[in-house]
Amino acid sequence: MPRYKMTIEYDGTNFCGWQKQKDGVSVQEKLEKALAVFAHEKVEIFGAGRTDAGVHAYGQVAHFDLSKEIDTFAAQASFNALVRPHAIGVLNVEKVDDDFHARFSAIERTYIYKILNRRTPPVLDANRVWHVGLPLDVPSMQKAALLLLGKHDFSTFRASECQAKSPVKTLDELTVTKRGDYIFFLVKARSFLHHQVRNMVGSLVQVGLGYWTVDDFHEALHACDRTKGGPTAPACGLYFQSVRYE
């Protein structure tokens, strides 16, 4: 059976997340319905990451198998027509080797988290950033972020419902950059725990607000206890940026 890879962007505001749910509209569900109409087959689509409700994507990757060959250019156009009016855009469809798997073949995932740091709430960026009205100390957050690089037990930043077998992960990159009123967190790793990025950002903001020192942040990390961590940052500021494969 031929296998196809697709790259997708979406605004997660009105979705219950990537994965199909009994209650709520998911990105996966809408794409599978579009594929069924186009290919006249009921097929499951597998994503590289299971983004939560309200989380957005610039470059989610997924794959699916069909019983026949398709024109990838026509498939892309059909997907984009059939998912309307939902906020999903299929950026590319291409045929791949049978052993490609959107999730298990990934060697690095990149997320971006956006904060709007000003007194005035967002208007044009509503539901697309975390609005923090008090000034944030970016240099202190940058110092604290360096403590997260490398291999750690990230239990402090792990959601209670996380199904990962181990809390130990290796964080390859975490940068904190300020551009005007915006603060961007760029995070890279092979894989993440449930809510790990949002919990790390929420804890870094505790440092930025002056509620924690960098040493406090260090102690929270090594406590390996979710109750010692900061609040979970809102889903609206998180974006699935890209996936890297061999």
Each residue of 116-130: pLDDT tens digit? 999 999 999 999 999
| Residue 158 within any structural domain of the chain | yes
Rounded Cα gap, residues 126 and 190, in angstroms: 30
In a shared domain, residues 29 and 129? no
The per-residue pLDDT for 208 is: 98
In a shared domain, residues 163 and 44? no
Q: What is the mean pLDDT of residues 160-169?
A: 92
Contact 108, 189 (CB under 8 A): yes
The three-point CA angle 207-212-216 to 5° equals 110
Domain boundary (74, 96, 118) is at 96
pLDDT tens digits, 223-245: 999 999 999 999 999 999 999 99
The per-residue pLDDT for 26 is: 97
Domain span including residue 26: 3-96
| Residue 101 within any structural domain of the chain | no
Query: Which pair of tokens denotes residue 152?
Result: 């750690």
Q: How confident is the model at residue 22 (pLDDT cuts 50, 70, 90)?
A: confident
| Residue 157 within any structural domain of the chain | yes
| Residue 105 within any structural domain of the chain | no
User: Is pLDDT of 23 > 90?
Assistant: no
In a shared domain, residues 48 and 148? no
Contact 112, 80 (CB under 8 A): no
In a shared domain, residues 84 and 128? no
Domain boundary (31, 63, 96) is at 96
Active site residues: 52
List of long-range contacts for 20-28, beta carbons under 8 Å, 24+ apart: 24/53, 25/86, 27/51, 27/57, 27/60, 27/88, 28/62
In a shared domain, residues 22 and 58? yes
In a shared domain, residues 79 and 116? no
Q: What is the mean pLDDT of residues 45-50?
A: 95
In a shared domain, residues 194 and 221? yes
| Residue 71 within any structural domain of the chain | yes
Domain boundary (96, 118, 146) is at 96
Biggest CA–CA distance in the chain, Å, is: 59
| Residue 102 within any structural domain of the chain | no
In a shared domain, residues 239 and 119? yes
Query: What residues pair up with 3 in beta bridges, in sequence order?
Result: 65, 96
In a shared domain, residues 84 and 205? no
Query: What angle separates helix 196-208 from helix 138-146, to the nearest 10 degrees?
Result: 130
In a shared domain, residues 135 and 64? no
Query: Which pair of tokens denotes residue 204?
Result: 């870094």
User: Is pLDDT of 163 > 90?
Assistant: no
Rounded Cα gap, residues 187 and 241, in angstroms: 9
Query: What residues pair up with 175 in beta bridges, in sequence order?
Result: 186
Rounded Cα gap, residues 239 and 113, in angstroms: 6
In a shared domain, residues 145 and 87? no
Bond preceding residue 122 cis, omega within 30 of 0? no
| Residue 103 within any structural domain of the chain | no
In a shared domain, residues 159 and 198? yes
The structural domain count of the chain equals 2
| Residue 230 within any structural domain of the chain | yes
Q: What CATH number has the domain bearing residue 210?
A: 3.30.70.660
Buried b (16+ CB within 10 A) or exposed e, 62-93: bbbebeeebeeeebbebbeebbeebbbbbeeb
Q: What CATH number has the domain bearing residue 24?
A: 3.30.70.580
